[in-house]
Structure 1
Amino acid sequence: MSATPLRPLSGGSSFEGSSFEGAALEGTSSAKPWWSAPPGVWTALAWCGGLVFTFLIRVGLPGEEEPPVLAGVLFHRWDGLTFLALATALALDGSRLLSRRPLAAVGRLLAAAVLGTLPLSVGEIPLAQFLAVDVALYAIAAAHPRRTGRIAVTMALGVLAGFLATRWLSGWNTGTSAELAVALTAVVAWLMGTSAHQSRAHAEQLRDRATAQAVTDERLRIARELHDMVAHSIGIIALQAGAARRVIDSRPARAREALGEVENTSRETLAGLRRMLGVLRAADLVDGGRQDGPAGTPGLADLDGLAVATTAAGVKVEVRTVGAPRPLPPEVDLSAYRIVQESVTNVVRHAGTRSCRVTVEHREDELAIEVVDDGRSHGASADTGYGLVGMRERVGLLHGEFSAGPRPGGGFRVAARLPLPAGVR
């Protein structure tokens, strides 16, 4: 990944202060397990394994008086070995194309199965030569649209039927029973892949429903906070206005003080209302899509707008983007923006520093966010708000990781990792 140079932001909008607590996020990532290799690798290994098996059953191994299967006339000759070499080249090329051009890959693998059968002097395509096709059928059915899987299995069954028909019409020996077993393995491989595809689609639907429910729960939480804030503020305004009315003639100074409190409370309440209404106007997730409200949905593209109020508050923000930005799901984009917004605002309110650094890293399967400053550690003055709780809830709803805490060398660090759906990776 390449990192863009640091650039100062020109400003931003402030947000409600929040508390900071917890340990620092550990950024270590585990290596991928061996079984997560691309499907093409498994297909190539299946072909090579079948080729080795073909040779082993045609030679006399220790403990055997004679090979289980007699080698054909061409098996040990140069022309037979040439057929096997060409078949292996086709199979490896098909394995290479499996992810990008699945049907072309199946065509090459089927051609390799037929070509690899010629020097064996058998009446059918053996399972060992068809094993790579079975692996490809599973991979295609599991990872590609259903139509592609159906075409692939039809191609496989058609080649098996055509091979048998050609031999039968030519008057040659035909291993129909053995070929039916090979056809059965192809159908089973396709059905298993289709089942895996359906399971993954069902899991994605459940995740979409959980995300929609999370958005609803978040809005209900905001509505409760809005009610509490407005009820408290209006109560204060009513008390101060009543006090000013009663003493405006006898104690003008006290009346002016009460009216000043009314003004300050009104301004703070109005600012809070605008912020919360902006959140409530966020995009509605409909079938995984996005419908913007009047103000649209904020995201990482709005960091420049966020910086306006931050600069006005006297704190310079430096943003570093690592990796190539790409379109993100609305829930991930909104949560990432809110995390940065909360973190930067806490720097303004509690850190006592003139600058902070924001790093947004676009990784292959996740979005990583880090906000650090060199100010004083945020202590008791920061743990009365709901910002940290809100950030942790947002990250938890997306099945990510979140941490916030003092840095060993001084200052404070907020870090979050938001996993990306498979379709975005």
Structure 2
Amino acid sequence: MAHSPPRLTTDRLSERGKDVAVVVAVALVVVGGTLWSMRDRSETPWQTALGWALIAVGCGALYFRRRWPVAVALFTLAVCAVYYPISVYDGPLLVVFVIALYTTAAEGRFATAVAFGIGVMLMIVYGEVHGRQSGRHVDDAQFMMLAGWLLSILVLARAQRTRAAYLEEVRARALAAEREQEARAQQSATEERLRIAREVHDVLGHSISLINVQSSAALHRLSKKQAGDDPAAALVSAQEALEAVKSTSKDALRELRSTLGMLRGAGEAAPTAPASGLAQLPELLDRARSAGLDVAAKTQGAPRPLPPPLDLAAYRIVQESLTNVTRHAQAASAAVTLDYGEDALRLSVEDDGVGAPDGIGEGSGIRGMAERARAFGGELATENTADGFRVTARLPYEAPGGGMNEAKGGAA
């Protein structure tokens, strides 16, 4: 944007240079032609002075032809109407009007230009009819040539106008397409950032929550050892908790590498670890159990292969739900249910914890799960139960609209 004013100034200077060049070129033609016609003719000084004055103002008026095309065309026509009756030389001053007439038509005033052309022909006819006593100045052949010349000028100007309009439309379409492409690229980048942020949140949030619980348990058991309880039992319990921390952190690193692998550049090796999905659900439940949560899983219906994006979304919803149970619910047990229906996968995670105000979960985790479900044309709901809190989600196997949302999720 900062470079626009210099470019506009350059464009204006360029247009002015073209106008000056046209004036100079036309003046050279008219002056040269007039001098040539003076070879064997003579006229009075006042005729010569007036003739050269009319040539000067007529040529100079062309500088303003694009700013005021109709006015310049009318002015040059008037100059020619005065010049030819009083001049003996009959120089090519008519070129000035022809240029102005072309500009008028090319600037979109085609009807006005046609009217000027017809007016010129009528003026010539009038002059020939009333000047028969001194003989004809324009014979039939010259008259037809002049008419054809003016018609050609008008047709050429019309074609130039049409071409200019077409080029302008092409430029406008190209600019609109470029802006639309930039908007789409920006939107895609925003969606990609949100998707990656959601992935990182789900991976790290779940694992770090479990690590926090397990490390707290290890510290608690070691404090019992220091307080004089059974040292061997305390050390065994602490060792089990630390082993769970090690396993959880290893899984977190694996999933984090897989997530960050989506950001690798072209030519870099793809991550070798398998993508997360419901196939890794047993490991996820084991990690939750190592944090002290009694988790049971149940499958209803006939399991079926899921598209990778849908498989990942289902896994992340279960993962985030268990993370919330571990961090906030103060629950002792939880139940995960997978129901493979005819048209959609329905899953639920229910715990026996304290529930949530009004049965509505808060925070980016719940929003992230809902966004995942909506991306596939599904929905997610949360509610308090008589014993705790429940998260339910419905994920269609095929999103409405021919898999558009599946493709969108496939980027994950």
TM-score by length of 1: 0.42
**TM-score, normalised on structure 2?**
0.44
